[in-house]
Copies of this chain bind each other. A is one copy, B any other.
Amino acid sequence: MDVARGGVDHCAAIPASVYEERRTRLAERLAGLRLRYLLVTKPVDIDYLSGFRGSAGALVIGPRQPRLWVDPRYTLQAREESRGVEIAESRHGLLRAVGRWARRRRVPSAGWQDAHLTGAEMAQLRSESRGSGAVRWRGVGVLLDDLRVVKDRWEIERIRRAGRLTASVFEQVLHLVKPGVRECDLAAELEYRMKLGGGEGPAFETIVASGPRGAWPHARASARALRAGELVIFDLGAILGGYAADMTRTVFLGEPNRRVRNLYSAVMKAQTRAVRAVQDATPAGEIDCAARRILAKHRLARYFTHSTGHGVGLEIHERPRLGKGETTCLRTGSVVTVEPGIYLEGFGGIRIEDTVLVGPEGPEVLTPASKECWVIR
């Protein structure tokens, strides 16, 4: 059957043995928690553990072969995409099917993703699995997020390509950046090129924020036209092979005065220093400190209103958070963003961001677009 896998797959398929290994690592963690079963309902975690990339499913990991429930929309896709799991089709609600199955099997206790399931879903599962041998459900918090913190080579390959694509579309569009062009048209160009370049699309709504709108750290691209004498923030990231990259560049239209040059240079220094700190065994909070210290030296700390970064992979925001007091240590194979920024109400903002891999020889920037050519005359 010549059915291609979902997504625009330019990467080699991940072998079944890799999913097997991931499930083995999970089983070890579960054993440590004295759990024999885990219900996985968060789609990216299902993808991570089985290869199935539909928007809804319920995967039970246990002592026997894993079992994946999907609704009829996804039966064929699940059979094609998943590796090493048994597929069960459910027409009347996935949680209902899982609850009943657990009751029939007399599963004594099982973990569930309490950081993903809603209160209502948990109530439903409890009620469906109630009976003579009621299942005791136990929250596993962010167990799976923690499992995904260190990326394997298949994942790194995908993020690396996503990063290259992200940098490339930005550089392709840079010549269009001039006064009079609307923010939303630039965002459209960037996202269009992500898809043409083999990506599945943007990992989030592309930000193009010019002039005073740049002081909103999460402004959407609007119909505002760019003007000379203003800063413009571009925050973009492509998804490729299921994995995201995340990058921000700031440019100035025209001839920046000394104040703007100093501001840009301060953020650059903060970002460079923080990237350098992305090393194996470094607590995530120290990277945040590294950026903040530099900005404080320039009396800009109070304009840096968010944390320095976050993990990135199957999701655009993953653990760890690179924020104050975060003690989780980075590990070789972690991928994080480093994105200090300053936001001046009524004037604008400057943010510089890269996706950075903790490589065996130190930090490796995966979003290789220039930060030096920021003045557009």
**Which A positions have Cβ atoms within 8 angstroms of B?**
1-10, 53-55, 71-77, 80, 112, 114-120, 122-123, 139, 141, 184-185, 187-189, 191-192, 195-196, 198, 200-202, 205, 211-213, 215-224, 305-306, 343, 345-346
Q: How far is the CA of A3 from the CA of B223 in the complex (A)?
A: 11
User: In the assembled complex, which residues on chain B have CB atoms less than 8 Å from the CB atom of A8?
Assistant: 184, 220-223
Asked whether A73 lies within 8 Å of B9 as measured between CB atoms, the reply is no
Instruction: List the B residue with the shortest CB-CB distance to A184.
Output: B8
Q: Tell me whether B201 and A205 are in contact (CB under 8 A).
A: yes
CB distance from A240 to the nearest CB of B (A): 11
Are the CB atoms of A201 and B191 closer together than 8 Å?
yes
Out of B77, B184, B191, B306, which one reaches A219, CB within 8 Å? B77
**A224 engages B4 (CB within 8 Å):** yes
Judge whether B120 and A218 touch: CB under 8 Å. Answer: no
The complex is assembled from copies of this chain, and their number is: 2
**Bound-state Cα–Cα, A10 to B4, Å:** 39
**Complex Cα gap A7–B200 (Å):** 22
Contacts of A221 in B (CB 8 A): 8
In the complex, which of the residues B7, B116, B120 contacts A222, with contact meaning CB atoms closer than 8 Å?
B7
How far is B7's CA from A75's CA once the two chains are assembled, in angstroms?
Answer: 36
Q: Which residues of B contact A9 (CB under 8 A)?
A: 222-223
Once the chains bind, are A187 and B191 in contact (CB under 8 Å)?
no
CA distance A139 to B55 in the complex (A): 25
Q: Are B220 and A6 in contact (CB under 8 A)?
A: yes
Quick one: which of B118, B195, B202, B346 contacts A119, CB cutoff 8 A? B118
Closest residue of chain B to A114 (Cβ to Cβ) is: B119
Could you tell me the distance between the alpha carbons of A5 and B222 in the complex, rounded to whole angstroms? 7
Known contacts A9-B222, A219-B6, A223-B4; is-contact A188 B184 (Cβ 8 Å):
no
Question: Given A73-B218, A118-B117, do A195 and B201 touch, yes or no (CB 8 Å)?
Answer: no
Complex: how many Å from CA A4 to CA B222?
7
B residues less than 8 Å from A306 (CB atoms): 71-73
A1 to chain B, nearest CB (A): 6
Which chain B residues lie closer than 8 Å to A192 at the CB level? Answer: 188-189, 191-192, 195
Which residue on chain B has the smallest CB distance to residue A346?
B1
> What 10 A-B pairs are tightest by C-beta distance, nearest first?
A188-B195, A114-B119, A192-B192, A72-B305, A6-B220, A73-B217, A4-B222, A115-B120, A8-B184, A4-B224
Tell which of B114, B188, B211, B218 touches A74, judged by Cβ atoms closer than 8 Å.
B218
Residues of B with C-beta under 8 A to A201:
191, 202, 205
Contact B218 A77 (CB under 8 A): yes
Q: Which residue of B lies closest to A54 (CB)?
A: B218
CB neighbours of A4 from chain B (8 A): 213, 222-224
18 sampled A-B residue pairs with Cβ under 8 A? A8-B222, A53-B220, A55-B218, A73-B217, A74-B217, A75-B305, A76-B216, A112-B119, A115-B120, A116-B118, A184-B195, A184-B198, A185-B196, A188-B195, A188-B196, A200-B205, A201-B202, A201-B205
Known contacts A8-B184, A200-B205; 11 further A-B pairs (Cβ under 8 A): A4-B223, A6-B220, A72-B306, A76-B216, A76-B343, A76-B345, A115-B118, A118-B119, A188-B195, A191-B201, A198-B223
- Partner of A139 from the list B1, B6, B75, B119 (CB cut-off 8 Å) is B119
